[in-house]
Amino acid sequence: MGAEVAVLRETKALLVAEAGCSALVEAVAVEMRADVFVDGALWMSTALTPGDWEDYAYGAAFSGDLVARADEIDRVDVRFEGGAAAIDVRLRTRRASALRAPQPSLPGCSLPASLGGDVRRGRPRRLFAPLAPEAVWRMGRALLPAQTMHQATGAVHAAAFADRAGAPVFVREDVGRHNTVDKLVGAMLRAGTDPQDGFAYLSSRCALELVAKLARAGVRVVAAVSAPTSAVIDFADREGVALAAFARDGRFTVYAHPELFDLSAK
C-alpha cells in the first residue's frame, strides 16, 4: 500500500461580505490525479480524494467490468510520482471483456486540461478590469428565478454568464453539471460574447473540470455556490482565474486572485 497522504489542506482565503472583508484560513479537500494501471498498462486517469486506495481500485475494476469478484484481483500496488498517485491493479486472470482498449476515465471522472498545463494554449492573458463584488451577489439572487427547469423538477444544475452589473446574459441548465458548462460556453461562442464582459456563476461545486473549461473559454472570474478543492485552487491560481466559492447570501470567499475584484470600498 502507499503512504498516507493528507486529505485536507489549509489555505489562505479572503471573505468578501457586504459588511467588509476579512482574511481567513480555510480547510479544503485535497484532490489529486490518479493513474490506474492494470497489470502495468495504463487503464484510465482520474482525480480523487486520497485514501482508501484498495477500496477504490477494487470498486473501479468491478464497475469497469475488469473483474466480477474480489478474488480475481491478486494485489493493488500504490506509488506516488510528481504529486500524482499510480495505482497498479494486478489481476489473477483477465476477463474477456477486459481485453478492450484502456479507458481514459470512468463516467464522471473526466480530466480535461485540468491537472496539466496552460489551458490558454499560448494565448496571451488579457487585462481584466476588477469586478464589483455586488455583481456576484446580484447574479446569485437572479439565478434561481432564471432556473425554470430546476424550479419545475429540482433535478438540474445551472451555469450562468452574467454581465459586469450582475445581470444574467445566459443561463443553461442540465442534469449534468459538466453539460451546463459546455452549453454555456457554446452559447457564448455562438453569440460572440467577450468573456471579459462578465463572469461565470455555477449552481454546483466549483469542480476542477468546470473551471478548466471556463478558463479555456477566457472567463477570468468564476463564482460558485459551494466549495472548491485543493486542485481547483491551484489551477485557478496558476491560470489567473479569480475563484469565489460559497457565493450566496451577500458574501463569498475568494481562494485565488482577489485582485480581480474591486474591493476598494470594502
Under 8 Å between Cβ of 203 and 182: no
Q: CA 174 to CA 140: how far, in whole Å?
A: 18
Q: Output b/e per residue, 14-29; b: 16+ Cβ within 10 A.
A: bbbeeeeeeeeebebb
User: CA separation (Å) from 158 to 70, 185, 243?
Assistant: 39, 12, 17
Is 109 an active-site residue? yes
Is 250 one of the annotated binding-site residues?
yes
Reading the block at residue 185, the C-alpha cell is 460556453
Contacts of 62 by beta carbon, 8 Å cutoff, 6+ apart: 68
What is the dihedral angle through the alpha carbons of 130, 131, 132, 136, rounded to the nearest 10 degrees? -160
Which position has the grid cell 493513474? Answer: 35
> Is 128 known as a binding-site position?
no
Q: Select which of 17, 21, 109, 142 is catalytic.
A: 109
Q: Which residue has the cell 485540468?
A: 114
- Any known ligand binding at 88? no
Does 246 carry a binding-site annotation?
yes
Is 252 labeled as ligand-binding? no
Is 251 annotated in a binding site? The answer is yes
CA nearest to 91, candidates 51, 62, 63: 62
CA nearest neighbour of 209 among 77, 88, 145, 119: 119
Annotated binding-site positions? 246-251
Q: What residues are labeled active site?
A: 109
